[in-house]
């Protein structure tokens, strides 16, 4: 499931941010359809069967319709990586396209203490890639764009959105699924542990006086 979800991100991002889905489209159904279309167990279903399965699963996965009912699993080594990043003296911030429940989800997962600021698009009033949500996060964190790195796994929302706000961007791409032209020059790493490794190495190369 984790592999299928990662494989589905480029196509879902293209449909959502480039092709533009019709007004009123159920984005969660679209997301599920993209993911199950990449899963070995379901990718060979005909379109009608896949659509029926997705509609059956939706109320099971999100019984109250809220994102907090679904996003509960902490991926391996995430707390360790966040702790390492925090120990580098970095201010950690969450910027999420959500429905007002992301802070609750972070609390339930035990991850909220790692973050100084949590920005939820439903509360902020803007969604990635709108640069205003990034500007809002910068203001709350007391940060400047030139000294901020945004890390995300959806190219059109995270990389292009951050760049639109003048922020450095890094794409999490664990299986090299994103067919991005090499001229784009976006750096890709597989996960937050790799990010912590990279930033730790960069910190060690800095002169001790800095």
pLDDT in tens, 28-67: 888 889 999 889 889 889 989 999 999 998 888 887 777 7
CA distances from 186 to 18, 87, 149, 158, 181 (A): 18, 26, 12, 11, 9
Terminal alpha carbon distance of the chain: 44
pLDDT at 193: 97
pLDDT at residue 182 greater than cutoff 70: no
Are 102 and 24 within one domain? Answer: no
CA distance 176 to 7: 9
Which residues have a Cβ under 8 Å from the Cβ of 10 and sit 6 or more positions away? Answer: 155, 177, 178, 179
pLDDT at 209: 41
Which position has the token pair 């973050």?
115
Are 52 and 97 within one domain? Answer: no
Residue 73 lies in a domain: no
pLDDT at 60: 86
Query: Of 16, 36, 61, which marks where a domain is finished?
Result: 61
CA distance 83 to 4: 28
Name which of 184, 204, 207, 199 is nearest 91 in CA terms.
199
Query: Domain span at residue 169?
Result: 78-205
CA distance 203 to 206: 5
Q: How far is CA 56 from the centre of its chain?
A: 26
Mean pLDDT of 69-94: 90
> Per-residue pLDDT tens for 120-131?
999 999 999 999
pLDDT at 210: 44
Q: How many domains does the chain have?
A: 2
Are 86 and 46 within one domain? Answer: no
Are 181 and 147 within one domain? Answer: yes
Average pLDDT of every residue of the chain: 91
């Amino acid at each position: 499931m984790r592999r299928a979800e990662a494989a589905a991100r480029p196509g879902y991002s293209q449909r959502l941010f480039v092709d533009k889905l019709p007004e009123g489209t159920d984005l969660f159904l679209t997301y599920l359809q993209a993911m199950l279309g990449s899963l070995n167990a379901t990718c060979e279903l005909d379109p009608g069967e896949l659509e029926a399965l997705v509609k059956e699963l939706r109320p099971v996965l999100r019984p109250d319709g809220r994102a907090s009912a679904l996003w509960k699993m902490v991926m391996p080594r995430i707390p360790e990586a966040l702790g390492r990043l925090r120990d580098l003296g970095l201010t950690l911030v969450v910027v999420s396209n959500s429905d007002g429940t992301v802070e609750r989800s972070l609390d339930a997962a035990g991850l909220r203490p790692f973050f100084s600021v949590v920005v939820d698009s439903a509360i902020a009033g803007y969604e990635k890639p709108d640069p205003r949500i990034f500007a809002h996060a910068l203001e709350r964190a007391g940060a400047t764009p030139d000294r901020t790195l945004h890390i995300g796994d959806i190219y059109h929302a995270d990389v292009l959105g951050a760049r639109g706000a003048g922020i450095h961007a890094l794409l999490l791409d664990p299986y090299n699924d994103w067919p991005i032209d090499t001229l784009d020059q976006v750096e890709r790493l597989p996960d937050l542990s790799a990010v912590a490794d990279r930033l730790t190495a960069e910190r060690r190369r800095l002169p001790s006086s800095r």
